[in-house]
Copies of this chain bind each other. A is one copy, B any other.
Amino acid sequence: MTESHNAPRRRGRPPKQPDGQLETRLALIRRGMEVLTERGFTATGLEGFLKQVGVPKGSFYHYFDSKEAFGRAVMDSYARYFERKLDRHLLNTQLSPLQRLDEFVADASAGMARHGFRRGCLVGNMGQEVAVLPDDFRQQLDAILHSWQQRLTVCLQAAQAQGELSAALDAEELAQFFWIGWEGAVLRARLQCSAAPLDVFYSGFLRMISANCSGSMISDTQ
Q: Are the C-beta atoms of A128 and B131 separated by less than 8 Å?
A: no
Contact mask A207-222 → B, CB, 8 Å, 1/0? 1101111100111111
Chain A contact residues, majority secondary structure: helix
A203 contacts the other chain (Cβ, under 8 Å)?
A: yes
Closest residue of chain B to A44 (Cβ to Cβ) is B132
This chain's copy number in the assembly: 2
Q: Are the C-beta atoms of B203 and A99 separated by less than 8 Å?
A: no
A204 in contact with B208 given A138-B191, A184-B183, A187-B127 (CB within 8 Å): yes
- Alpha-carbon separation in the docked complex, A206 to B215 (Å): 12
Q: Are the C-beta atoms of A43 and B188 separated by less than 8 Å?
A: no
A74 contacts the other chain (Cβ, under 8 Å)?
A: no
Contact mask A41-85 → B, CB, 8 Å, 1/0? 011000000000000000000000000000000000000000000
- Alpha-carbon separation in the docked complex, A204 to B200 (Å): 15
Cβ–Cβ < 8 Å partners of A102 in chain B: 222
Q: Are the C-beta atoms of A207 and B190 separated by less than 8 Å?
A: no
